[in-house]
Amino acid sequence: MSWFELLLVAVGLSMDALTVALCKGMAQKRPDARQGLLLAVSFGAFQALMPLLGWFLGNRFAHAISAFDHWVAFALLLIIGGKMIVNVLKGVSCPVDQAARCSLKELLTLSVATSIDALAVGITFAFLQVAILPAVLLIGVTTLTLSLAAYLLGNRLGIRFGSAAELAGGIVLVLIGGKILLEHLNILAF
């Protein structure tokens, strides 16, 4: 997987966190930079840790499914991206409590909820033999940066940006999954 593809995956994975951060920023009359940084660091850390955990799990079982790993990678990315697209089409927006500040419990819950899909991507990384440390660092830093920006700009950008970003992220993940499948079936060569 190229650096560009990894960056696209990182951006796609960060869309859930970006949307939640945007909603949290929108809930404030004036964004609190400290609260936004705490939210972004937590989202970035979980978004980096989950694919690492998935990679360890995938490596443990990769030998057992190596004959059809490309189908697994395709299915996981299709499901994750498809879920993001369906949420946008259903009009699911700002799935968070609009309290001005996050409690520790809410912060951890949101961090886990927005990073579950990254666990599946980590499994995919194991099948594709992606260098995991640079990948998780890129995912974590991308999520942190986009989440902080979304939080700080939330009250200015509005929810339309969050929905468009999530839709774009879902489409990117589905397309990358399709590319992986087509490459393994020797239909597409890059």
- Produce one character per residue of 32-48: b if its CB has 16 or more CB atoms within 10 Å, e if not: beebbebbbbbbbebbb
**φ/ψ of residue 131, rounded to 5:** -65, 110
Q: Residue 99 has what pLDDT?
A: 52
pLDDT tens digits along 25-66: 876 767 688 888 999 999 999 999 999 999 999 888 767 766
Cβ-contact 112, 17 below 8 angstroms: no
Nearest to 114 by CA among 43, 168, 172, 165: 43
* CA–CA gap between residue 29 and residue 184 (Å, rounded): 50
pLDDT tens digits along 143-162: 999 999 988 887 666 555 66
Tell me how long the chain is: 190
Rg (CA), the chain: 17
pLDDT band at 97 (very low <50, low <70, confident <90, very high): very low
Which amino acid appears at position 95 of this protein?
Answer: P
Q: Does the pLDDT of residue 101 top 80, yes or no?
A: no
> Angle formed by the axes of helices 116-128 and 69-90, to 10°?
150
Looking at residues 79-91, what average pLDDT do you find? Answer: 80
Looking at residues 85-110, what average pLDDT do you find? Answer: 72
Long-range contacts from 64-72, C-beta under 8 angstroms, 24+ separation: 65/127, 66/127, 69/127, 69/128, 70/127, 70/180, 70/181, 70/183, 70/184, 70/185, 71/181, 72/123, 72/124, 72/127
Average pLDDT, the chain: 82
Q: 3-184: what fold? A: Growth Hormone; Chain: A; (1.20.1250)
Q: How many CB atoms lie within 10 A of CB 114?
A: 27
pTM of the model: 0.72
* H or E segment and range at residue 43: helix 33-65
